Chains A and B, each alone.
Chain A
């Protein structure tokens, strides 16, 4: 039996998009889990209706498992949930108005729940994180140095890292290679060889663009919610 995960991110308060994804998932065989990898909130629109739906799923909804993303980090920092830190990254990149806009989109009644969300999940041999094992803001793309990608995988000792921060959909496989090293200390010299483990980093997309992952076959399907057909070339079998 096919078992699939649905991976979603970057909803940023857009209930309509979330509703479209839920409708898609109802029509898709084998989806057993829905992971929302952060950026549930954003400054563009009021996010309360979406947060209500995520916290209290409708009958028939696939129950979402959520983690926090970059926008939640900014919101929670500005609201005093991150010690002395404030929304400095948002303030620096988009200015004071963006900070004010973000604060106004989320009712304070949701803050405690948002603050309870985890940094990431480890499921099977997969890490599900908004950015990476390094930071929630880590922007991994298909152009990121494979050395950095391998480091982010190694930090968690996982074979697959699902990331959302870039908003892109990609599947980059590390297929081979190696490295030699020589260590010299007061006891002498020793040589070491290490091969690149077969591991992957997957960008799951954002908003309407989401990803299905077939656990058994290790296949990724990059989809767009509400599309009438699943076009060829997007990996959907």
Chain B
């Protein structure tokens, strides 16, 4: 059976509606959302209410968490201090706009969802703020999936959709301990695991303005990355009219992150 996974809607109602329409057209009725319903975009209440109305199973993203708990992420979650300042502006604006009812909904979201061997998180099983980038260390990537007890890990947060299959892994070890001296070496065969990143509905950064999501077939484990065009101009105009930083509209109309790359994208915020 096919099911759809969406992530990082970021208060972009036209994008969210377009993606949900695309999913509906394919007759898929199981949808999982990996969080970040709000932040950056101009329609936080509308997007949260759309997800609530549709009854879509959702886990909490870093933006959803920060709106509820206050900004508890340090600047390491942003690519730069400049980006952090822009993020703080958007945070304040979103905080002012969201209704108490919608904030309560965001507060009620779990940090992960599990269906059998499938695990759904926003960033990683460790944190909503950890980026699992497509080229990160393969052993570290496998560790995230394996330690969480999943076969397939669905995540978002990077705004770049990808499917990464980790296979044919092994680690050889040799042990020396105080009691037994040198032991024989051993080889551990690593299991095959998969990471599926759903990209972003509301703020794509994969080089195109199209919204992205993924469809997974739980019988064949095949994954399809889907792109959906929507009225980007409408959202950009709403961003400017709301008084949000204009660069949010700029990057939405270009489809990639403005400026800076994180120095250590695998860093997990401890604050």
Contacts and interface: CB of A to CB of B under 8 A. Distances in A.
Interface of A: 142, 145-148, 150-151, 154-155, 168-186, 192, 194, 196, 203, 205, 209, 220, 222, 233-235
B5 to A, nearest CB: 15
Nearest to A196: B171
Contacts of A181: 138, 141, 164-167
The 8 closest A-B pairs by CB, nearest first: A179-B169, A169-B178, A222-B178, A151-B143, A176-B172, A170-B177, A177-B170, A177-B171
A186 B138 contact: no
Contacts, number: 133
A175 B172 contact: yes
Most buried by B among A171, A179, A184, A203: A179
Contacts of B143: 147-148, 150-151
Contacts of A154: 137, 139-140
A186 B190 contact: no
Given A179-B138, A184-B163, A150 B181 contact: no
Contacts of B190: 147, 179
B168 A179 contact: yes
Contacts of A179: 138-139, 142, 166-170, 190
B185 A175 contact: yes
B161 interface: yes
A185 B177 contact: no
13 contacts: A145-B188, A147-B171, A151-B143, A170-B177, A172-B175, A173-B176, A175-B174, A181-B138, A181-B141, A181-B166, A183-B163, A186-B227, A205-B178
B147 interface: yes
A226 to B, nearest CB: 15
A145 B208 CA distance: 40
Contact of A182 (B165, B173, B176): B165
Given A170-B178, A179-B166, A182-B164, A147 B188 contact: yes
Interface in B133-152: 134-135, 137-143, 146-147
B178 A186 contact: no
